[in-house]
């Protein structure tokens, strides 16, 4: 038996101490300090419970609602709360409102997360529902207002909350990106990150020895329970997640906040705090993990790949990120969080207070969280058109020292609009369009090197047409050269090529 | 003090700022600049007060530049703000930072009213005050 395995105290013993009012409870920050001064062993002996906290955007959140029956009754098949659609593939007056659902009238400004916050604040909410009508449910339309008190049940059930840690984000591209990781300035202009690090519940019980199905937690200012591992639970990489539930009617809107990420979407900020019973030395040790011991990878959101394929730019720690600056390619880059460390701290404090006042008792999990499991990507089995299939391989190009008139003639003779400019070794150095040439002639410029665009938007031949069409729309351009790894031009693709393909596709039907 | 300098088409090509700097010896810092053939608008920080500051402002005005003092630019709704930090790293002038207890702290003098933080805030807690839009 490993020394760290030896049980110091049981959850039952801890609860008896809470009842007697002599449990020793520290927040994770206080536990770190104690371990630094007296060592982990002494801290493990002294401390019964370490409280944790996190407060961040958790998109996989939502609430099960039961509206009650109207007279005459309706079997709601479509339903909206403040114009935000509610999932209605359930019984007549049951629904699920997801935090990331967008308002059909206010777009990114308002959504499911905001409705949840408004419900908890006791605000009046517009309810609208439709149905096809049935003998037992004759009503086909309903419009009324509700508050949380009118509902029979409002149960927060969040399929994925409380990520153990999360990759940070930066942007190598030349354009500002608006993402679920916030505003990312061009050319590695900033780094954003999320997660409570040394206060995060799963970081403090790194081996999932105390948190499992049935663990009682602080959820949104009320009491909730862990009901299992969350979706995308990826313990082997240190990205554990939790599925949680709690009674929304007993929560507090201070700890459940609707949020909008500009040009991305809406979400819900959820406050979660979990008590870690110090049952053995190994748990005590992980409960003293510090920000400077928790690794975070900074990924490049300038590359539009799936999350785990975005290139890792750097490995840092939460301490580095929280310092306000990190170094990328020798340059100082400002870093800041998206989740609130201040609120995470507050939650750990509130939970500590609840326990000390005898209002909150710990539970033993009925089943542990899975410690194995990896994240799989979604394979696209249906064939998607790629650049390779649509690009033209015979590319008319020019050299930087070519005369403007000569280039203009090329465009006319070949009937094209885009002219990639290449160096002697075939590498792409610029591009000119018919519009550039018209202006160059009007302004009496002489050589392409004077007028060409040097920062060229390009495509790779293995990319999907969809990705490249999105890129062209973002840059308001109508064509991009296709380049290989050495930046040599191997083709060109234009919006014309893509629209022709669409027309062909339709005529085939 | 931060001021907005508005150049009319008649004076937009003159090196007025350079002249003020060289004559007053003040290290005037350009925080934001938008200049084209028709109009120029600069937001600058003048590290001075009293007579010397007034002298600099008078020089701009004599040269035909409109000078507006930038007082309050950004309003933070403390009820909505959660001190998450989403506005901090996008801010180009570090006007938004954390204080030692992780509460969001805002330094008026550094703000150039670019509005980047307004979009970056997930809670709609930040608004540019009217007339301060850059």
Query: Which ipTM value was assigned to this complex?
Result: 0.84
- Are A337 and B85 a contacting pair at CB < 8 A? yes
Tell me whether residue A378 is in a domain.
no
Shared domain check, A411 and A316: no
Q: Let me know whether A419 and A438 are in one domain.
A: yes
Q: Residue A161 corresponds to which tokens in the numbers above?
A: 């909350």
Q: Kindly report the nearest CA distance between residue A114 and chain B, in angstroms.
A: 10
Whether A418 and A360 map to the same domain: the answer is: no
Size of interface A-B (CB pairs under 8 A): 78
**pLDDT of B134 over the 60 cut:** no
- Domain range for B115 is 74-128
| CATH code for position B123 | 3.30.70.20
A127 and A226 fall within a common domain:
no
What residues of A are in contact with residue B101 (Cβ under 8 Å)? 342
Question: Quick check: B103 contacting A, CB < 8 Å?
Answer: yes
Give me the active site residues of A, please: 136
Q: Which two tokens stand for residue A138?
A: 């004759």
Cβ atoms A133, A215 nearer than 8 A: no
Residue B56 shares a structural domain with residue B82: no
Structure tokens at A132: 């096809």
Instruction: Please report, for the domain that includes residue A406, its CATH number.
Output: 3.10.580.10
A284 and A402 share a domain?
no
- Chain A: closest CA distance from residue B85 (Å): 5
Contact B90 A182 (CB under 8 A): yes
The alpha-carbon gap from A279 to the nearest alpha carbon of chain B, in Å, equals: 31
Looking at beta carbons, which residues of chain A come within 8 Å of B85?
336-341
Q: Is the pLDDT of residue B132 over 60?
A: no
Helix axes B50-62, B16-24, angle to 10 degrees: 150
Quickly count: other Cβ atoms within 10 Å of residue A476's Cβ: 6
Residue B133 falls within a domain, yes or no?
no
Q: What is the mean pLDDT of residues B94-106?
A: 96
Count of structural domains within chain B: 2
Task: Identify whether residues A33 and A94 lie together within a single domain.
Answer: no
- One domain, residues B88 and B36: no
Segment-wise mean pLDDT, segments of 10 residues, chain A, 509 residues:
82 98 98 97 97 98 98 97 98 98 96 98 98 96 98 98 97 94 97 98 97 98 98 94 98 98 97 98 97 97 89 97 97 98 98 98 97 86 88 93 92 92 92 91 90 92 91 92 93 90 61
Q: Are residues A139 and A269 in the same domain?
A: no
**Which of B122, B124, B126 is most worth mutating to test chain A (most A CB atoms within 10 A of its CB)?**
B122
**Is residue A97 within 8 Å of residue A62, measured between CB atoms?**
yes
Nearest beta carbon to residue B83 from set A183, A335, A342: A342
On whether both B11 and B63 belong to a single domain, the answer is yes
Please report whether residue A431 resides in a domain: yes
Please report, in angstroms and rounded to a whole number, the separation of the first and last CA atoms in chain B: 16
A334 touches B at CB < 8 Å: yes
Residue (of A385, A392, A443) closest to A416 by Cα position: A392
- B63 and B8, same domain (yes or no): yes
pTM: 0.83
The single-letter DSSP state of residue A218 is: E
| Domain co-membership, B50 together with B82 | no
Range of the domain at A441: 387-508
- Which of B82, B83, B93, B118 would you mutate first to test chain A, the one with the most A CBs within 10 A? B82
Give domain status of residue B6, yes or no. Answer: yes
Report the length, in residues, of chain B: 134
The answer to whether position A350 is within a domain reads yes
* SS3 per residue for A209-232: CCCEECCEEEECCEEEEEEEECCC
Side-chain-side CA neighbours of A495 within 13 Å: the count stands at 11
**Domain-embedded: residue B134:** no
- Report the pLDDT value the prediction gives residue A409, as an integer from 0 to 100: 92
My answer on whether B86 and B31 are in the same domain is no
Is residue B97 included in any domain, yes or no? yes
Q: Mark which of B54, B69, B84 sits at the end of a domain.
A: B69
CATH code, B50: 3.30.70.260
């Amino acid at each position: 038996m490993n020394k760290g395995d030896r049980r110091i105290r049981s959850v039952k013993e801890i609860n008896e101490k809470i009842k007697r009012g002599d449990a020793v409870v520290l927040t994770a920050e206080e536990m770190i300090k104690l371990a630094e001064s007296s060592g982990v062993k002494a801290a493990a002996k002294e401390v019964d419970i370490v409280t944790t906290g996190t407060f961040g955007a958790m998109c996989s959140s939502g609430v099960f609602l039961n509206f009650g029956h109207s007279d005459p009754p309706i079997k709601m098949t479509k339903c909206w709360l403040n114009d935000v659609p509610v999932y209605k593939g359930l019984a007549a007056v049951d629904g699920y409102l997801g935090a990331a659902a967008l308002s059909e009238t206010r777009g990114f400004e308002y959504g499911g997360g905001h409705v949840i916050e408004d419900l908890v604040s006791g605000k009046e909410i517009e309810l609208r529902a439709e149905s096809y009508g049935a003998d037992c449910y004759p009503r086909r339309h309903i419009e009324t207002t509700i508050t949380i008190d009118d509902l029979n049940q409002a149960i927060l059930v969040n399929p994925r909350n409380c990520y153990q840690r999360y990759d940070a984000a930066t942007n190598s591209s030349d354009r500002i990106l608006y993402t679920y990781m916030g505003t990312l300035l061009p050319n590695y202009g900033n780094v954003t990150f999320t997660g409570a690090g040394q206060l995060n519940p799963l970081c403090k019980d790194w081996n999932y020895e105390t948190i499992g199905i049935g663990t009682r937690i602080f959820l949104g200012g009320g009491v909730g329970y862990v009901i299992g591992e969350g979706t995308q639970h990826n313990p082997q990489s240190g990205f554990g997640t939790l599925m949680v539930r709690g009674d929304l009617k007993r929560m507090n809107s201070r700890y459940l906040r609707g949020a909008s990420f500009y040009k991305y979407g809406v979400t819900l900020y959820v406050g979660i705090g979990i008590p870690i019973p110090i049952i053995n030395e190994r748990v005590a040790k992980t409960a003293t993990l510090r920000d400077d011991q928790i690794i975070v990878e900074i990924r490049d959101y300038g590359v539009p790949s799936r999350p785990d394929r975005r290139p890792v730019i750097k490995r840092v720690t939460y301490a580095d990120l929280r310092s306000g600056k990190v170094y990328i390619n020798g340059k100082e880059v400002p870093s800041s969080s998206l989740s609130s460390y201040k609120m995470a701290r507050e939650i750990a404090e509130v939970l500590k207070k609840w326990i000390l006042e005898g209002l909150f008792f710990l539970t033993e999990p009925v089943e542990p969280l899975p410690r194995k499991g990896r994240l799989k990507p979604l394979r696209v089995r249906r064939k998607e058109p790629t650049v390779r299939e649509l690009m033209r391989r015979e590319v008319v190009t020019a050299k930087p020292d070519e005369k403007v008139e000569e280039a203009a003639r090329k465009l006319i003779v070949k009937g094209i609009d885009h002219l990639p400019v290449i160096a002697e070794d075939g590498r792409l150095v610029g591009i000119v369009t018919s519009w550039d040439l018209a202006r160059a002639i009007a302004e009496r410029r002489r050589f392409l090197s004077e007028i060409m665009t040097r920062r060229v938007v390009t495509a790779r031949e293995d990319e999907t047409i969809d990705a490249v069409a999105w890129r062209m729309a973002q840059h308001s351009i109508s064509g991009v050269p296709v380049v290989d790894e050495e930046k040599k031009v191997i083709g060109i693709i234009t919006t014309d090529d893509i629209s022709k393909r669409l027309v062909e596709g339709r005529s085939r039907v | 003090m931060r001021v907005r300098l508005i150049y009319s088409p008649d004076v937009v090509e003159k090196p007025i700022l350079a002249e003020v700097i060289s004559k007053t010896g003040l290290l005037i810092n350009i925080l934001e600049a938008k200049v084209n053939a028709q109009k120029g608008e600069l937001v600058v920080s003048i590290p001075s007060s009293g007579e010397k500051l007034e002298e600099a402002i008078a020089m701009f005005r004599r040269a035909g530049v409109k000078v507006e003092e930038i007082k309050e630019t950004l309003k933070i709704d403390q009820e909505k703000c959660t001190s998450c930090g989403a506005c901090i790293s996008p801010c180009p002038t570090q006007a938004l930072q954390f204080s030692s207890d992780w509460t969001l702290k805002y330094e008026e003098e550094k703000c150039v009213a670019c509005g980047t933080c307004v979009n970056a805030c997930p809670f709609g807690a930040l608004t540019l005050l009217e007339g301060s839009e850059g």
